[in-house]
Amino acid sequence: HAIRGIVHRADAQLVLVDTPGLHRPRTLLGQRLNDVVRATLSEVDVVGFCMPADEPVGRGDRFIAEELSRLPKRTPVVAILTKTDKVGDADRIGARLLDVAGLGEFSGIVPVSAIRSYQVDVLAELLAARLPKGPALYPGGELTDEPEQVMVAELVREAALEGVRDELPHSLAVVVEEMIPREGRSPQNPLLDVRVNVFVERPSQKAIVIGAGGSRLKAVGTRARGQIEALLGTPVFLDLHVKVAKDWQRDPRQLRRLGF
């Protein structure tokens, strides 16, 4: 699904909509992810087309560029060359920028590094300048409109994919079953019980997520719990379970049950 992050500025409010990756779908899940992207493209005022500086322009980039070329001319597309910190040679970055420019007509092309905060402010200025005038859509201080359970599921999924993204890219779904305060705890010593199910498609994938003797699942839980506590501002007991939902990416009933 698309996740919205809100940037409050003195002169503008940027609502950044992060979508799934647009791609050639091989499963029903892939088709639905593309539907989310296309619906989002029809609703936004500016499109940011992100490409990593440390990878050559490929078929996937050309596929997305072709899709974006069909947008109405009133929707500007800004090409964003990300991860420039991973490319030490300025000549290589320049070559990548030329490759990007060859993909289409863009309203702007900006190289950035989020890690080093390189030109992130330039990108924000460029995006803000292309927004229509109007009232703020969200109150000051709000950073996202995502429900807490959705954010928790995202944090668990990111932790579970760490190091195995190539093996389990879209085969892993996360559902937060419940988030409830622990009974009998005082307001000064709260604890939130969070029960989460991680779904994969095959037993072999389940073994990857769990790891030898459960070591990897324990590491996933430790990492995710720290991030969830930082997000919610309260101590958390995270109860993780890995389950097999056979070929869920192709099953309409299971897709609905998993929130797709």
Q: What is the pLDDT of residue 167?
A: 82
Asked if 155 and 231 touch (Cβ cutoff 8 Å), the reply is yes
pLDDT for position 116: 96
Convert the pLDDT of each residue in 174-195 to its tens digit: 999 999 999 999 999 999 999 9
**Residue-level pLDDT at 129:** 96
Please tell me the distance from the alpha carbon of residue 252 to that of residue 2, in angstroms, as a whole number.
20
pLDDT at 141: 87
Residues of the chain with pLDDT under 50: none
| The CATH number of domain 3-129, selected from 3.40.50.2000, 3.30.465.10, 3.40.50.300, 3.90.180.10 | 3.40.50.300
pLDDT recorded at residue 260: 85
Task: List, for residues 213-232, the tens digit of each pLDDT value.
Answer: 999 999 999 999 999 999 99
pLDDT at 171: 87
Pick the CATH number of 148-258 from 3.90.1150.10, 3.40.720.10, 3.30.300.20, 3.40.50.1370: 3.30.300.20
- Structure tokens, 214: 């459960």
Per-domain boundaries in the chain: 3-129, 148-258
